[in-house]
Amino acid sequence: MLILQVLINGILIGGLYGCVAVGFSLVWGVSNIINLSHGIFIMLGAYITFWLFTLFHIDPFLSIPISAAILFLVGYLVQKFLLNYVVGYTQQSGFGVFLSLILTFGLARVLENLMVGIWSGDWRSVTTTYSGLSLHLAGVSIPYIRIAVFGVALFSAGLLSIFLYRSRAGMAIRAITFNTVGAQIVGIELDRIYNITFALGAALAGIAGSLVSLIYSFSPFLSTPYLSWAFVIVVMGGLGSIYGAIAGGILLGIIESVASVYVGPGYQQAIGFIILVLLLVFRPQGLFGKKFLK
């Protein structure tokens, strides 16, 4: 039964990984911005849930929309007042990717230190009355919280997908991905769409953060590992693809889980990065990516 348990463990954590990567992948794919502050946005989401739970006893699952909304706003403002200047410069020179890297890296450090300054570097966690309860079936245990986290992760990705394919703004986002110049010719305002895209990416980071707070302890310094997971998953799943990110996340979850038992727990993360390197060499468009954006 060990293998079944290990697979289930991997799939459940994989849903969260996918949620961590979706927003990152969207922003990179659409705006060509590698958002290094994605990890710290996730931590911000976790803190929002933590404080709402600690101060006002709001159930962590109910605080998910709140942290998504706050992060949406933060993301919108960051893009509008910081990144658009850089992205504008990008189009002519091709330096934009580097500039966006520097800018988002700096932003991440500023936010991280602000968070340490205000909330200290202590480890926080959210413990609800239903934490630690699990379903036991045929010798396999499945914690309820993880099932719920998995469900919310998939649900958020689904919502994003509906938005991208059914709404005007969503279709504009997709139009830009396919042809930036063409989209502008038909009257799509580039800056506004970039604002919405980045805000969506940040909102998804907020959701992921709320979910992280439910299953793990966190501090502002935890942002880096989540950022690196997002990288691996995006490369696995393909840039800008929602399904790719979710599938990549679940795949990474399974790989880590299986590796920790059958290769050795020390290799849990190493295997993921080895696969990343191999993919970059042999299949740079990702396992599920339709196209690879420069």
Partner 1 sequence: MKWAGRLVLILLIGIVSLLFPLTTSIAQNEIKIGASLSLSGKLTREGHGLQEGYDFWAEWVNNRGGINVGGKKYKVKMIYYDDESNPQTSARLFEKLITQDKVDIIMGPYGSGIAMASTTIAERHRYVVILPLNDSDELYNRGYKYIYSVLPIASRDMIPMVDLVMAQSPKPNSIAIIASNSPYPLMCAKGLNEYAKQVGMNVVMYEQFPEETSDLSSLLSLIKTKNPDLLFETGYFEHSVLITRQLKDQRFTPKALAFSVGPQLPDFTKSLGKDADYTMGVAYWHPRMKYKDSAFTIEQYNEMFKRKYGRDPVYLNAYGTAAGRLLEQALGIAGSLNQEKIREAMHKIELADTIVGGIKYDEAGRNIWGRTGVLQIQKGQAEIVAPEKAATAKFLYPAIPWEKR
Round to whole Å and give the CA distance between 205 and 10. Answer: 21
Q: For the CB of residue 132, give the shortest distance to partner 1 in the complex, in Å.
A: 4
Q: For residue 140, what is the enclosing H or E element?
A: strand 140-143
Q: Which is nearer to partner 1, 78 or 222 (CB)?
A: 222
Of the candidate spans 78-86, 117-125, 166-174, 179-187, the one that interacts with partner 1 by CB under 8 A turns out to be 117-125
Per-residue binding letters, 73-112, with partner 1 (x by CB under 8 A): ----------------------------------------
CB 126: neighbour CB atoms within 10 A?
Answer: 24
Asked if residue 49 binds partner 1 (CB under 8 A), the reply is no
Asked if residue 266 binds partner 1 (CB under 8 A), the reply is yes
Asked if residue 268 binds partner 1 (CB under 8 A), the reply is yes
Of the candidates 47, 29, 25, the one whose C-alpha atom is nearest the C-alpha of residue 38 is 25
Strand partners, 134: 143
Of the candidate spans 26-34, 101-109, 219-227, 238-246, the one that interacts with partner 1 by CB under 8 A turns out to be 219-227
Structure tokens at 89: 């410069």
Q: Are strands 140-143 and 134-137 parallel, antiparallel or unpaired?
A: antiparallel
Contact status, residue 62 vs residue 133, Cβ threshold 8 Å: no
Q: For the CB of residue 178, give the shortest distance to partner 1 in the complex, in Å.
A: 35
Of positions 91, 113, 141, 167, contacts partner 1 by CB under 8 A: 141
Round to whole Å and give the CA distance between 87 and 209. Answer: 27
- Alpha-helical (H) ranges within the chain are 2-31, 38-56, 64-78, 84-93, 96-119, 144-166, 168-178, 180-185, 190-215, 223-237, 242-262, 268-282
SS3 187: coil
Q: For the CB of residue 115, give the shortest distance to partner 1 in the complex, in Å.
A: 15
Round to whole Å and give the CA distance between 288 and 235. Answer: 10
Asked if residue 59 binds partner 1 (CB under 8 A), the reply is no
Q: Which is nearer to partner 1, 63 or 260 (CB)?
A: 260
Strand partners, 142: 135
Asked if residue 151 binds partner 1 (CB under 8 A), the reply is no
Strand partners, 137: 140
Asked if residue 134 binds partner 1 (CB under 8 A), the reply is yes
Q: For the CB of residue 122, give the shortest distance to partner 1 in the complex, in Å.
A: 6
Of positions 56, 57, 122, 185, contacts partner 1 by CB under 8 A: 122
Of the candidates 126, 135, 142, 123, the one whose C-alpha atom is nearest the C-alpha of residue 15 is 142
> Tokens 């490369």 label which residue?
235
Of positions 192, 217, 283, 288, contacts partner 1 by CB under 8 A: 217
Q: Which is nearer to partner 1, 240 or 256 (CB)?
A: 256
Q: For the CB of residue 63, give the shortest distance to partner 1 in the complex, in Å.
A: 18
Of positions 233, 256, 276, 279, contacts partner 1 by CB under 8 A: 256
Report the interface residues with partner 1, using CB under 8 A: 2, 5-6, 9-10, 13, 122-125, 127, 131-132, 134, 136, 141, 143, 146, 212, 215-219, 222, 224-225, 253, 256-258, 260-261, 264-266, 268-270
